[in-house]
Amino acid sequence: MNAPRLDRSPVTTSPTWAEVSLDALRQNFRAVRKHVGEGVNICAVVKADAYGHGAAVCARALETEGAPWFGVTGTEEALALRRARIKARLLLMTGIWKGEEDEAVANNLTPTVWERWHVERLEEAASKKQTVFPIHLKIDTGMTRLGASIDALPPICKAVASSSHLKLEGVSTHFASVRDPEKTLRQATLFEEALGILSAHRLAPALVHMANSAAILSRSETWKTMVRPGIALYGYSRTRAAGAAQPGDAGTLLHPVLSWKTRVIALKEVAAGNAVGYGGTFVTQAPTLVAVLPVGYADGFHRLLSNRGRVIVRGSYAPVAGRVSMDLTTVDVTGIAGVEVGDEVILLGQSNGKNIDAGEHARICETIPYEILCSISKRVPRVYLGGG
């Protein structure tokens, strides 16, 4: 057996790492901007650590590209970006919790509101600073999560309109399923009704937004004056995730930003009739060369990929052989010539015309690409390519 190769992944000594292409991220942002046109504002969603890509670094790259807004889940994510010296506007998409209003005002965060107490607490916080503070109002048009219902909207409007230190800068809703045209139309119709109620209370927010990635790519009538791309920025669209992107589809202009790689740390020559891994779910039918990889479900390589997933080794597909464990995964590299300890293995990415993306993992695991990307754990170092 040859000695292990000593070459390392870029900028890290870890045998498992993720490469994040900031050039691809910028290209995806430019594709979205071109698609919606210069007249539509873009709120780039970087919640959940930019879907596992690294919020601070991604936001810095997008801010340099001209992104004026970033969408985050809440105050803690926003403050982390402020500490990273991100100066763009930050939209708190799930609003504030009690006690966070002073931090929001002090750090120029923009909360989403939908209840009276949001308005009251933010009014008090803004009055302390003697400032007029912008807020965005969320309407529940059928997602049935956050947002003011149509019936609850008038008292909220009255509270906002009577506030001396708050300005309604934006109004939003969120689609439950852009794939369902009838439900999407019902939500859009309800949203228009809500805008009419706002107008009746002399509220005219400049930023009206409802389109997420799927709506951006397929329903131009929903773009309004701002859109909120999330998964599209990281290279995935509804059609790409389904494996059905067609030429001319805007989703085909997007490029996955993250590649996930590891190395072979051991090779086992296994005779026929031997079980591999926990539970012996894979039994060799012939002499088999098994490669051991230092990655497992604790890293985000899902256990449901056991005996179903695949990786790329030396430009060829190699199937997962046996159960994915917490820290290790075994793959069958029989028939792939020249495999050595230290060889690079692609978990997500492409090589030699072969490709594995988060959509493939999602189909196997019966989930969505979002979860696949967000599940890549913190113990996997991120290596950023293409500058800050």
Active-site residues, by number, are 47, 278
CA distance 319 to 111: 47
Of 137, 231, 213, nearest to 175 (Cα)?
A: 213
Which sign, positive or negative, has the C-alpha torsion 278, 281, 285, 288? Answer: negative
**Nearest in space to 374 (alpha carbons), one of 387, 385, 361:** 361
AA identity, residue 138: K
Q: Which residues of 201-235 are buried (b: 16+ CB within 10 A; e: fewer)?
A: bebebebbbbbbbbbbbbbeebbbebbbbbbbbbb
CA angle 275, 279, 282 (to 5 degrees): 40
| Partner residues linked to 268 by β-bridges | 290
13 Cβ partners below 8 Å, 6+ apart?
none
C-alpha span between 166 and 282 (Å, rounded): 62
CA distances in angstroms from 276 to 87, 291, 307, 347, listed in the order given? 52, 11, 11, 20
Find residue 355's DSSP bridge partners. 350
Pairwise CA distance, residues 23 & 51, whole Å: 17
For the chain, count helices (H), then strands (E): 12, 20
For residues 254 and 173, give the distance between their C-alpha atoms in angstroms, rounded to a whole number. Answer: 25
Q: Are residues 154 and 197 in contact, defined by beta-carbon separation less than 8 angstroms? A: yes
> CB-based contacts of 233: which residues, under 8 Å, 6+ apart?
25, 28, 29, 32, 44, 45, 58, 62, 213, 257
357 exposure class (CB count in 10 Å sphere: 0-12, 13-18, 19+): buried
